[in-house]
Amino acid sequence: MRLSDLKPGQTGVITKILGHGAFRKRVMEMGFVRGREIRVILNAPLQDPVKYALMDYEVSLRRSEAALVEVELLEIWKHAATSADLAMECREESEPDADPIPLRKDKIINVALVGNPNCGKTSMFNMVSGAHEHVGNYAGVTVGAKEGTLKYKGYRFNIVDLPGTYSLSAYSPEELYVMRYLREETPDVIINVVVASNLERNLYLTTELIDMNRPMVIDLNMFDELKRSNANLDYDSLGKMLGVPIIPTIANTGWGIDKLLDTVIDVFEMKNPDTRHIHVPLNPEIERNVTAINRVIKGDHAISDHFSPRFLAIKFMEHDPEVEKMLTDAPCYPTLMQIRESAQKSVSAKLKEDMASTISADKYGFIQGALAETMEGSIVKDEKTTKIIDTFVTNKLFGFPIFLAIMWLMFWCTFELGSYPMGWIESLVSWISGLIGRLMTDGPLKDLLLDGVIGGVGGVIVFLPNILILYAFISFMEDSGYMARVAFIMDKLMHKMGLHGKSFIPLVMGFGCNVPAIMSTRIIESKSSRLITILINPFISCSARIPIYVLLVGAFFPAHGALVFVGLYLLGVIVAVVTAQMLRKFWFKADETPFVMELPPYRIPTMRATLRNMWSKAEQYLRKMGGLILVASVIIWALSYFPHYTATDVPADFRASALSEMPASTLASQTPEQIDELIATEYQQSHSILGHVGKFVEPVVRPMEFGWKTCVSLIAGSAAKEVVVSTLGVLYVGDDDAEALSQRLKTPSKITGEPPFTQASALAFMVFVLLYFPCIATLAAVSRETGSWKYTLFTLLYNTGIAWVLAFATFHIAALFI
């Protein structure tokens, strides 16, 4: 709670000062420090200000100022302290890792990780918090704030991994997000993660954080790369010069993490001797005007008590749109405008440069000077390997063939290598199904377990190895740095499509899952390119569609599996490209946003990171098996089981019609009892709730020879594309438990003599699944990232329409040649 929430007579204990700058310094000098008791004496006649008792003297604060002081009621504070002591005693006597009772608020440290893209923030976050966020060797992996916690030496760290940003100028979504977070959430300590081997570029963001005047620690990450170079950095002296302690770490191995956390605690407790506030020197002409604006902003406590006046002054001089928005309604805004206009004329006349360029040059000059005093030798990067690899992978002759070869290898391994563990899992599922079939007596429960649970979930879980192989390839390309090169070689082609080079990264991420891929479009600065990328991303075949492809390719095209896979993925890309060109031509204006993207050095992905990423995807897949797909399978089974009919319930006309259509081979090979059972099963499914729904919409897909069961599976796929397979398993495997689903789909029905799929209809079905509307989670992501339901409706209708047209064409063309 805040100090302003206390009522007269109540006593609280100060836990944090949330204010900033002069206010924070003033109240702390008056005794407003953590752990100090403060009591409310009375309110002024108009309820503002309020008189408080603190350290045997009285002080008055406005409510707006008291709202910047966080407190805890004295009785709650004492109870928490006693409970913590008791918990510590119990912990010493029993298990050392037992969780203590919740900590007092002054023992909770809110930490924000801030740094350039690809600086290792997420690796640091994973190492410290134990989370399993994705790490990639290119800009834009973290597209939102990730939160984690850590208990360390009696403190609880609430850690937030913010998106990577090169500066705090509000021009891109990441920069705006980080700036607003630091302004609104006021973390206790900022950990500024910098790359040890690229300090000059990374420290520019550090100078902006210094302008903010927030408690901060610099994490000198990837220190091993610096040690391998010819440079020797006196980071202690550099930290003293910057007024920020610098701690070297290696996030991938965890080296230096403990010392980093110890330093965060010291900074939080204001015990670190290196912590002091400095002013990054600017050109005297600019400094004079920044000081003038700073002085005006300081006079408005509604602004200066919450944010650094100097930071706002510098950003205001740079015409930062977010700062402009913050200051527009302030009473001092006309005065600020006069000072800035005068400064612009003066700087332009004397320095012959615009304000932003001069400020950037001054800051880089300060960084160069600081490094010149603290670094011996130069950082010689081992670029030989990178140059050799780039000679081939970015070459205009070899670049595209190499990329296509990697894509083909990825799909070949997904299908061919994945078939072996897939067979093992399939055998296990069949063994479990046979065991339950032998041990349980006939009835609804047995049908539910065999047809609903095992027929649905078991039919999907067998594809886990294929998905893991796909993610292993994607993870390797991202972690190694190759993905950034793909964006580089694709930029010109993407530009011709009406997109941006950076659009290619979200599109490739779509091979894994469309939801995070759509979220990752935030790395694209251009709004129109970002929207187009979002709208075409569902055409990129996600891993959830792999079970459908593997099922049908294995059944109908086993000799050409990799070719069919590549063809489907290429078709999705082609449709995405054509759609992008149409959107750019008819809806969005031309986009001339420059392509600026860091090409990081190649790094060998660690086995630990790759396996952790694979396990994370496996865990998500298994959770989906035990959650969404299990529930969907049970619902599909129930809808196909009720109302339930037996052989005696089958009308005579239906029986006569079924017998007249039944193949002679079935009549000759089956006993009368078996024939009655087949007719009863067919009547049950076609007259169930699910049967009525399927037959209602069947005419829409009948031109591709999709039956009503196939139609139902497509509808069920709106929850998750894997549910298409589980639905087919529930509806088809129940006809003959001894046959696997893939075999059943190409086996003629004993009732009609026709198989559920032919090669032509199977190919058309895969095309339809590739292109029709995405799952609900993806539609929600489209709505959230575009901020409009109209784009969501467009995705729903346009994608399904394109899917129908191309599936229709595929079926009839394939029927001519197959």
- pLDDT one-digit tens code per residue, 299-317: 877 777 677 888 889 988 8
Residue type, 670: Q
Instruction: Collect all residues with Cβ–Cβ distance below 8 Å to 801 and sequence separation of at least 6.
Output: none
Q: pLDDT value at position 500?
A: 65
Three-state DSSP at 155 gives: strand
Find the angle CA(603)-CA(605)-CA(606) to the nearest 5 degrees.
Answer: 125
Q: How far is the C-alpha of 37 from the C-alpha of 3, rounded, in Å?
A: 11
Contact 554/565 with Cβ under 8 angstroms? Answer: no
Q: pLDDT value at position 118?
A: 77
Q: How far is the C-alpha of 32 from the C-alpha of 12, rounded, in Å?
A: 12
Q: Are strands 69-73 and 11-17 parallel, antiparallel or unpaired?
A: antiparallel
- Structure letter (DSSP) for residue 417: I
Q: How far is the C-alpha of 465 from the C-alpha of 463, rounded, in Å?
A: 6
Q: How far is the C-alpha of 504 from the C-alpha of 521, rounded, in Å?
A: 10
Cα atoms in the Cβ-side hemisphere of radius 13 Å centred on 117: 24
Query: Quick one: CA torsion of 319, 324, 327, 328, rounded to 10 degrees?
Result: 120
Contact 289/340 with Cβ under 8 angstroms? Answer: yes
Instruction: Give pLDDT < 70 ranges for the chain.
Output: 19-22, 25, 29, 80-105, 131-144, 170-173, 305, 378-384, 459, 491, 498, 500-501, 523, 525, 590-600, 734-739
Q: How far is CA 482 from CA 138, 196, 367, 473, 485, in A?
A: 9, 22, 30, 11, 5
Contact 705/761 with Cβ under 8 angstroms? Answer: yes
Contact 723/629 with Cβ under 8 angstroms? Answer: yes
Q: What is the 3-state secondary structure (H, E, C) of 470-517?
A: HHHHHHHHHHHCHHHHHHHHHHHHHHHCCCCHHHHHHHHHCCCCHHHH
Q: How far is the C-alpha of 173 from the C-alpha of 181, rounded, in Å?
A: 12
Residue type, 542: C
Residue type, 32: F
Burial zone of 457 (CB within 10 Å; 0-12 exposed, 13-18 middle, 19+ buried): buried
Query: Quick one: CA torsion of 253, 259, 264, 269, rounded to 10 degrees?
Result: 160
Phi, psi angle pair for 679, to nearest 5°: -65, -40
Long-range contact list for 748-751, CB < 8 A, 24+ apart?
A: 748/663, 750/662, 750/663, 750/666, 750/670, 750/678, 751/658, 751/661, 751/662, 751/666, 751/678, 751/679, 751/682
Q: How far is CA 220 from CA 112, 148, 191, 359, 531, in A?
A: 16, 21, 10, 25, 36
Q: Are strands 108-115 and 189-195 parallel, antiparallel or unpaired?
A: parallel
Q: Is the dihedral of CA 542, 544, 545, 546 positive or negative?
A: positive
Structure tokens at 435: 């065991």
Counting every residue written for the chain, the total comes to 818
Q: What is the DSSP string of 271-335?
A: --TT---------HHHHHHHHHHHHHHHT-HHHHTTS-HHHHHHHHHTT-HHHHHHHTTSTTHHH
Residue at token pair 């569609």: 545
Q: pLDDT value at position 96?
A: 44
Q: Are strands 375-376 and 232-233 parallel, antiparallel or unpaired?
A: antiparallel
Q: How far is C-alpha 314 from the geometric centre of its chain's CA atoms?
A: 33
Burial zone of 787 (CB within 10 Å; 0-12 exposed, 13-18 middle, 19+ buried): exposed
Longest Cα pair distance anywhere in the chain, in angstroms?
A: 105
Cα atoms in the Cβ-side hemisphere of radius 13 Å centred on 135: 25
Instruction: Collect all residues with Cβ–Cβ distance below 8 Å to 288 and sequence separation of at least 6.
Output: none
Three-state DSSP at 140 gives: coil
Q: How far is the C-alpha of 222 from the C-alpha of 690, rounded, in Å?
A: 58
Q: pLDDT value at position 190?
A: 93
Residues 271-306 as b/e (b if ≥16 CB within 10 A, e otherwise) read ebebbeeeebebbeebeebbebbbebbbebeebbbb
This prediction's pTM = 0.65
Q: How far is the C-alpha of 355 from the C-alpha of 363, rounded, in Å?
A: 12
Packing angle between helix 561-586 and helix 399-412, nearest 10 degrees?
130
The number of helix segments (H) and strand segments (E) in the chain equals 39, 13
Contact 799/773 with Cβ under 8 angstroms? Answer: yes
Cα atoms in the Cβ-side hemisphere of radius 13 Å centred on 94: 10
